Structure 1
Amino acid sequence: MTNGHRAVILWQEYVDVILSKLSTPPLYQNILVLFWEV
């Protein structure tokens, strides 16, 4: 596992925590999808 891959996993966990706390609208999730596609 490279450091880059590990960073991605940590980022996903961080985002999951934020989403669970804020219960953000779908728009934010769409932005994350666009970010992931890049």
Structure 2
Amino acid sequence: VAFYANAPTGAAIVLVALAAYCATALARVLARRVRPVTP
């Protein structure tokens, strides 16, 4: 029962983590485009 009760919270955590990952990846791509010299 507790698992189903925590399901929405778990889904929210996954969505937030995925959003943070996408934001980080996008930031890295933009950083590479702005500063191509930095590896």
TM-score after normalising by structure 1: 0.55
Unmatched 5+ residue regions in structure 1?
Answer: 29-38
Q: Percent identity?
A: 4
Aligned residue pairs, count: 26
Larger Rg: 2
Which protein has greater RCO, CA pairs closer than 8 Å, 6+ apart? 2
Hey, which bits of structure 1, 4+ residues long, moved more than 4 A? Answer: none
TM-score after normalising by structure 2: 0.54
Amino acid at match of 2:36: S
Unmatched 5+ residue regions in structure 2?
Answer: 1-13
